[in-house]
Structure 1
Amino acid sequence: MADSSDSVSIDMEMYSPRGKEHLIRTSQGIVSVSVFGDPDKPALVTYPDLALNYMSCFQGLFFCPEAYSLLLHNFCIYHISPPGHELGAATMSPDDPVPSVDDLADQVAEVLNFFGLGAVMCMGVTAGAYILTLFAMKYKQRVIGLILVSPLCTAPSWTEWLLNKVMSNLLYFYGMCGVVKELLLKRYFSKELRGCAQVPESDIVQACRRLLDERQSSNVWRFLEAINGRPDISEGLRKLQCRSLIFIGEHSPFHSEAVHMTSKMDRRCTALVEVQACGTMVTEEQPHAMLIPIEYFLMGYGLYKASKVSVSPRSPLSPSCISPDLLSPESMGLKLKPIKTRIPFEV
């Protein structure tokens, strides 16, 4: 598969020595896909949020030993980066047309075709969640499940549209300047992690700030333009034929969007998990909060095998936090209930 003239393979050693980055030529341009795990296993496709790639959007989740073991045990991971967002990406040509969200969803299908994949599990964050949801709506037979973090489904509100336009103009004229980085960090993380005059920002935020410095501003601008022009897909959500697990941070600016999205989906196969004291990027801020819901979600597919390792004491979740209806065997594939995490606060 990797010996195609349309791709370049680069050895990576992030999670696994078997990981490789593939630069795949599609009808919408070249896209980077980093692959980890056994290609004979079912595929899990990820897509990050604006200005991020898999290292800055999913490393918190995949560096969590329990989650890493769970996901790599069951899947081969295919991390898709938005065009021009991969590590070391060059500036894209200004002559290239700005893709639409439909173009990006079709590009996901081309990636699957390149690797010879059929139906896949999908995991996306915010803008990436929108792209994968749209992909699932357009290619229903190719998605067996959706794990969405702070997803979008409506057209931008006037507030979001205006904020995105401000970022777009700043990116176009000034590049990845301090104001753009602050706006993006506010989008990703809760106020507690971003800190204030008396409290320094967390290591996670500092690391993300450094990674944003590596992004090519014109490439980010292109993805932002595509997302800011997205249509409302709410009315098509009920026709989705796959089970869905939705995570939303309590303090995410997209909280109401995720709740709205859940209300539009088939409640017999959709669960909403609200993570308290968390912003948009649950994958980075509270990755342990995702572990148990994902475990039970995967049981419905017969993919999860019980581990002898006990639940991490760092996890804000415990089995008692989950609705009993969600844990019943018959509900694993048929009826998922809305649940919330409970995080104890230390005084």
Structure 2
Amino acid sequence: MEETKEVVKTDKFGDVTVYVSGDRKLRVFLTVHDIGQNHKSFHQFLLHEDMKAILSKFCIVQITVPGQEEGAETLPNDYKFPTMQEMGTEVIPQVLAALGCKSKDVVGLGVGAGANILCRYAMVSAYDVLGLCLLECSAESAGFLEWGQEKIASLQLNMKGMNPTSESYLIWHHYGNAKKDKLSEVRGYSDHLYSKFNHQNLARFVNRYMSRTNFMDKLKTMKCRVLMVTGSRSAHVKDVEKTYTAMDRQNSEILKLDGGDVMDDNPEKLAESMLFFLQGLGLVSSVRSKKMSRGTSLSGTDA
């Protein structure tokens, strides 16, 4: 996937790194990543055969949360790291405007913290967003157990850099109960955490996600269609299901796929589900899935 790196200067949060592919006159396919990740976490899934066919109809815009790109310099001590709300309501609109992309009819794909950010963007840009595919999304503030785990991970990252405690938390966050069956992938992710990330910047992102506000009571105000997705062995199944119950059922669907990290464990069914979801929005009608089964239902769950 050929992409152009762009650095957008925002009003309050400095430079934001963005990667753009495709014709900027097309609708935007917008991605926002999770903690302990950056835009590269989407690459393998977006290169899947059926996703490539879908994405040929879009301009792909991949936002990297400040300081999370590989080899990033440490953010200044006086830098005000954006909250989840500020990422959604201030950073994303400024980035799309600066890129000169068609800002209407945006489709979003977000994971974890990125899904939380995209929800907030959709709520303030109701008539710009057509649909969101949200993986492992929680609209609640962090519960006591999660808050404690994230607080420890953030403190340890600041004091020691990447360390076994923070590493274990991030592996649990991304792989859930599937981590024992994915030793090779987990080892690769662990190596990536130690060698590629600026740990102080990552600590600040984890801290902001830990401090996220609850917007469960606002979910019914979302105008766009939403596809909620979770893995059957994810650490966040209950959070996703609870968030879904607070949504407008006429505009939302939930899908449960095998695995922990569904983009990695079940890319074919996720891509197929996204194709059907987008076609339900009146998009990509000419795209046909060649290799996938045609029996996936978005109205229920797929264990």
TM-score (norm 1): 0.81
- Taking the TM superposition and a 5 Å limit, the aligned residue runs for 1:286-297 are 286-297=266-277
Q: Give the match's secondary structure for 1:321.
A: coil
Matched, 1:148 2:165: no
Deviations along 1:178-212, one digit per CA (max 9) or x if unpaired, are 321221111101444444xxxx713x323322321
Structure 1: 4+ residue segments shifted above 6 A: none
Aligned pair partner of 1:87 in 56, 59, 70: 70
Structure 2 counterpart of 1:315: none
Deviations along 1:84-115, one digit per CA (max 9) or x if unpaired, are 11133111111212322222121111111112
Q: Give the match's secondary structure for 2:159.
A: helix
Matched, 1:49 2:34: yes
Aligned pair partner of 2:155 in 155, 163, 169: 169
Deviations along 1:142-193, one digit per CA (max 9) or x if unpaired, are 2111110010100100010000111011011011123212211111014444
- Taking the TM superposition and a 5 Å limit, the aligned residue runs for 1:285-324 are 285-307=265-287, 310-312=290-292, 318-322=293-297
In 2, Cα distance between the equivalents of 1:118 and 1:310? 31
In 1, Cα distance between the equivalents of 2:179 and 2:140? 28
Distance change in 2, residues 1:111/1:308 (3 Å): closer
* Identity among equivalent pairs (%): 25
Deviations along 1:1-29, one digit per CA (max 9) or x if unpaired, are xxxxxxxxxxxxxx12xx10111111212
Which is bigger in relative contact order (C-alpha 8 A, separation at least 6)? Answer: 2
Equivalenced residue count is: 298
Structure 2 counterpart of 1:222: 204
Query: Any stretches of 5+ residues in structure 2 without a counterpart?
Result: none
Matched, 1:129 2:110: no
Query: Any stretches of 5+ residues in structure 1 without a counterpart?
Result: 1-14, 313-317, 327-336, 343-347
Residue 284 of structure 1 and its aligned partner are, at CA, apart by: 2.3
Structure 1 counterpart of 2:50: 66
Distance change in 2, residues 1:192/1:300 (3 Å): closer
Structure 2 counterpart of 1:102: 85
In 1, Cα distance between the equivalents of 2:189 and 2:21? 22
Q: Is the 8 A contact 1:238 1:265 kept in 2?
A: yes
Aligned pair partner of 2:190 in 209, 216, 222: 209
TM-score (norm 2): 0.93
Q: Is the 8 A contact 1:84 1:92 kept in 2?
A: yes
Deviations along 1:319-344, one digit per CA (max 9) or x if unpaired, are 2232xxx6xxxxxxxxxx2x2225xx
Q: Is the 8 A contact 1:246 1:271 kept in 2?
A: yes
In 1, Cα distance between the equivalents of 2:150 and 2:44? 26
Q: Give the match's secondary structure for 1:259.
A: helix
Q: Is the 8 A contact 1:61 1:68 kept in 2?
A: no
In 1, Cα distance between the equivalents of 2:122 and 2:112? 15
Q: Give the match's secondary structure for 1:74.
A: coil
In 2, Cα distance between the equivalents of 1:41 and 1:307? 16
Query: Which residue identity lines up with residue 111 of structure 1 in the other structure?
Result: V
Structure possessing the higher radius of gyration over alpha carbons: 1
Aligned pair partner of 1:240 in 205, 222, 229: 222
Deviations along 1:273-324, one digit per CA (max 9) or x if unpaired, are 0012x11x32223222211211111112332234466224xxxxx32232xx
Query: Which residue identity lines up with residue 161 of structure 1 in the other structure?
Result: W
In 2, Cα distance between the equivalents of 1:300 and 1:157? 35
Q: Is the 8 A contact 2:35 2:206 kept in 1?
A: yes
Query: Which residue identity lines up with residue 39 of structure 1 in the other structure?
Result: R
Distance change in 2, residues 1:49/1:308 (3 Å): closer
